[in-house]
């Protein structure tokens, strides 16, 4: 049922992509101005949480960047914000394709302990909450970039706001991010 809801949500967002019904209510903020590319592997929040008492296995490819904290700010807090997925896209100078990373499902839920420990593992910002932040970093690996470049792109958040009467409104919020290779 949850997967069906996300398929419906993604279809709605595609159809309503040009609309900005509540786009101004949700603001997404990241915790750093430039994210360095790290030439090593890393362990995602999901791998760490799934490992339990075992040693987690690195699941992030070399040449990654990490976004330590993502904050969701809202003006109108009367609805619950449901975050479906986050997409990062960065155009590397000299490359014909943008680097793209998406996180949703359990990987998204793992970015905050309360999301992951919930029975539905949904990324929810409760009604009445004006500002809400992740407590585990989002990683994007496998970024092939020449040394000494700085590249900008976007971090987009897709979801919906759910009123107490069940009405749902698609939401899309974005911010600019910058990565840097050394």
| Per-residue pLDDT reduced to its tens digit, 106-141 | 999 999 999 999 899 999 999 999 999 999 999 999
User: For 100, how many CA atoms within 13 A lie in the half-sphere containing its CB?
Assistant: 7
Q: Is pLDDT of 56 > 90?
A: yes
Instruction: Write the pLDDT tens digit of every residue in 24-47.
Output: 899 999 977 799 999 999 999 999
* Arithmetic mean of pLDDT over the chain: 88
Range of the domain at 117: 2-180
pLDDT value, residue 5: 39
The tally of domains found in the chain comes to 1
The sheet with strand 26-30 has its strands ordered as: 26-30, 70-74, 131-133
Q: Is pLDDT of 62 > 90?
A: yes
pLDDT class of 7 with cuts at 50, 70, 90: very low
| Structure-block tokens of residue 27 | 């603001």
Q: What is the DSSP letter of 106?
A: H
Answer whether 70's CB lies under 8 Å from 87's CB.
no
Instruction: Write the pLDDT tens digit of every residue in 83-114.
Output: 999 999 999 998 888 999 999 999 999 999 99
CATH of the domain at 31: 2.60.40
Strand intervals (E) in the chain: 26-30, 35-36, 65-67, 70-74, 80-91, 98-104, 123-125, 131-133, 138-140, 150-162, 168-180
Q: Is pLDDT of 13 > 50?
A: no
């Amino acid at each position: 049922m949850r997967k069906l809801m996300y398929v419906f949500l993604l279809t709605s967002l595609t159809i309503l992509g040009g609309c900005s019904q509540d786009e101004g209510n949700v603001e997404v903020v990241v915790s750093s101005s430039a994210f360095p590319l790290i030439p090593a592997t890393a362990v995602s929040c999901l791998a760490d949480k799934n490992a339990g008492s075992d040693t987690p296995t690195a699941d992030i490819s070399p040449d990654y960047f990490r976004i330590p904290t993502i904050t969701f700010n809202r003006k109108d807090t009367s609805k619950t914000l449901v975050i479906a997925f986050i997409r990062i896209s960065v155009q590397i100078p000299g490359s014909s394709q943008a680097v793209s990373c998406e996180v949703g499902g359990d990987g998204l839920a793992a970015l905050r302990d309360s999301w992951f420990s919930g029975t539905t593992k949904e990324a929810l910002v409760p009604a009445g909450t004006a500002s809400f932040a992740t407590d585990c970093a989002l990683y994007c690996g496998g970024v092939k970039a020449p040394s000494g470049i700085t590249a900008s792109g976007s971090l987009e958040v897709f979801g919906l706001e759910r009123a107490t009467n069940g009405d749902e409104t698609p939401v899309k919020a974005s911010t600019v991010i910058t990565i840097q290779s050394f």
